[in-house]
Structure 1
């Protein structure tokens, strides 16, 4: 049994049930808590979201569930609202790309806030946090495609935050990514890219604190995490596939490591990405953006820059460490009776290695990256924008544009906009 601790406090799964559900539900009542699910409309056609809904129906004491939804029409938003209509707590379906939201976010550009970015999970998380943090003290985030969702997921993720005496401000999930169909190991971006990359960088630049921090997470790319509202409100949100690593960088910047925990959720399965045929597709694109995020964070936190003459060393080291990891995961799979495609994983390492040089060259040419501003900064520009966004994301606001001639305003009065959305 693994009971080891390290730099990051680790909450293991020892196979026992832990605190009784009644205690957990009382903790939810005592500390206002919201769950956030970034969601595409296509998820409503899959069984995973129905499973999540079934599990969450048994959750008592939750303050709210926020669905950050990307949809193409009012009809789709109404369908999503009907899907969640019978929940035992308030559900806020927030239409992230709705016309009222788009116009509101356009209008605040005059304040120096550029918050209209390419749609994606980062943009949905940023909007969802704005909505969820209005009243909650704790916010937990889960993806909408989890096929193994159980009552233990929210319980284990949230409990370290619900007990104020722990001092924990941020919780990150880790798990064993296994395919429900084949039982093969998944999570290639973590196993075959991020792990070998961090190990290789450490050999080149030394055991820097930030690298040690990242390597302490069992699953740094896990998309499931929770935090206190005061922390969530101060995080800049990355807009690309570097979201998870970028958020870890933001947490590192704002929180003492003693206030961070990681929680074992057991066996986990959700949608799997293909490797991709080009560097701009699938896991290849993800790996490139993750690499740039890691190296940019090394610049910010450690003042460390990878030199051009170190590129060949990184390429050689990454290939060696990646091949070693393939062998290790092959043995792990064999002893556990799991299928393992060694040739396919060797090819993945080869393809990832070919991304290193162009990604680093691109970073050197463009070291800055677009990030959505923290909500604390947003509110310093406009105290009413949080409420205005929540109101604009409601389905009933979809027709407000045609009835509110004062909607687009070079100097937006967000309080007035919020009132007009609610009235609509």
Structure 2
């Protein structure tokens, strides 16, 4: 069993007793009552087994969270049934329709019109969540292995005076290695950058065992100060801000065991290929913000070299564990992802909530179309 520490505090789950039974565990459980949980969803999560499990596990938390914010991106015809389904769970749930006409108008009038995506959805919920509680936990709704105890684990570092905590876990299921975007894009890209840049920000970003995990916890003050990318760059952009706001000493990562997630295809804008472009843009923007300007002419080739070395290591690891492994397929992915490594475009991040041109309460109103007579469906509450 490994117990290696990184440049940030790494909290391991060593087995029996970890995360339960201690004063720390009791403090973390008690902290749930002062925590707002944010669970972003899209139409694919509607009545899905994974999302059902997440909500049922949150129902079992004692005490209950102060609030559960569910930012939903779905078509108008879907949002009514979606909300009806979400409100069948015994949780203090606040549903936000992220692509509601009122939300688009609110953002446009504030000069914040732009791409919709996971980052924008989470940002819309972060303001209200930070206003509702002392701490905020954010996690995805597509983990079939989710446990309510993950909330306790993410909160535990905050009870020890850390300001930011990130979850990490293994992505091994069905006899195969997953976590492809992290293994085959983020990790080798960071290795290539570390070889050329002796910069603290590179060391910080490389200290996370699963930097693209969607699970994190933060103090409400830190959450209000995140400049969130609009789409799939959310996780990396959050780490860039955490470096500025919490630093090495104020950051921890927590072992959440093994996760089983829904999987995406590689090709296409909604697949890993499209996600790699957003992750690259966010990562390279973070580096440039901190004065680490990559050599964009040589970086793709250096990335491919680092990716090839890692594939040889993963092949050995898979063979040792009796896992199926296709190195040719993984090399093909590395070649595709290399095309994403280009200078980042204009900065389209959303502002810190401390600088936002409207209040969190304005989002709550704009994102509730069932209270708008112009929308055909209305709740009977």
| Common fold: TM-score over 0.5 | yes
8 A Cα contact 2:233 2:278, kept in partner = yes
Q: The residue matched to 2:169 in structure 1 has which SS?
A: strand
Q: Aligned partners of 1:104 and 1:66: how far apart in 2? A: 19
1:32-61 residue CA offsets vs partner (Å, 9 max, x unmatched): 111001111221142111111221110122
Q: Which residue of 1 aligns with 2:74?
A: 71
Q: Which residue of 2 aligns with 1:370?
A: 348
1:148 to 122, 145, 148: 145
Q: The residue matched to 2:39 in structure 1 has which SS?
A: strand
CA shift for structure 1 position 28: 2.4
Q: Aligned partners of 2:90 and 2:278: how far apart in 1? A: 39
Q: Aligned partners of 2:250 and 2:210: how far apart in 1? A: 18
Report whether the alignment pairs 1:236 with 2:236. Answer: no
Q: Aligned partners of 1:315 and 1:330: how far apart in 2? A: 22
Report whether the alignment pairs 1:349 with 2:351. Answer: no
Question: Which 5+ residue runs of structure 1 have no aligned equivalent?
Answer: 403-423
Q: Which residue of 2 aligns with 1:415?
A: none
Q: Aligned partners of 2:339 and 2:132: how far apart in 1? A: 47
CA RMSD of aligned residues (A): 2.2
Question: Which 5+ residue runs of structure 2 have no aligned equivalent?
Answer: none
Q: 1:283 to 1:50 in 2, by over 3 A?
A: same
8 A Cα contact 1:60 1:88, kept in partner = no
1:371-416 residue CA offsets vs partner (Å, 9 max, x unmatched): 11111001xx44xx211211222243232689xxxxxxxxxxxxxx
CA shift for structure 1 position 319: 2.2
Q: Aligned partners of 1:183 and 1:260: how far apart in 2? A: 33
Tell which deviates more after alignment, 238-247 or 80-89: 80-89
Q: Which residue of 1 aligns with 2:308?
A: 323
Report whether the alignment pairs 1:168 with 2:162. Answer: yes
1:138-193 residue CA offsets vs partner (Å, 9 max, x unmatched): 110111111111122212112222x2xx21111111111123xx231111111111
Q: How many residues align?
A: 372
Q: Which residue of 1 aligns with 2:14?
A: 14
Report whether the alignment pairs 1:184 with 2:187. Answer: no
Q: Aligned partners of 1:199 and 1:268: how far apart in 2? A: 25
Structure with greater helix share of residues: 1
Q: 1:138 to 1:325 in 2, by over 3 A?
A: same
Q: Which residue of 2 aligns with 1:283?
A: 272
Q: Which residue of 1 aligns with 2:200?
A: 209
CA shift for structure 1 position 81: 3.0
8 A Cα contact 1:77 1:93, kept in partner = no
Q: The residue matched to 1:168 in structure 2 has which SS?
A: coil
Q: Which residue of 2 aligns with 1:295?
A: 284
Q: 1:267 to 1:203 in 2, by over 3 A?
A: same
Q: The residue matched to 1:298 in structure 2 has which SS?
A: helix
CA shift for structure 1 position 24: 4.5
Rg larger in 1 or in 2? 1
Report whether the alignment pairs 1:338 with 2:329. Answer: no
Q: Which residue of 2 aligns with 1:407?
A: none
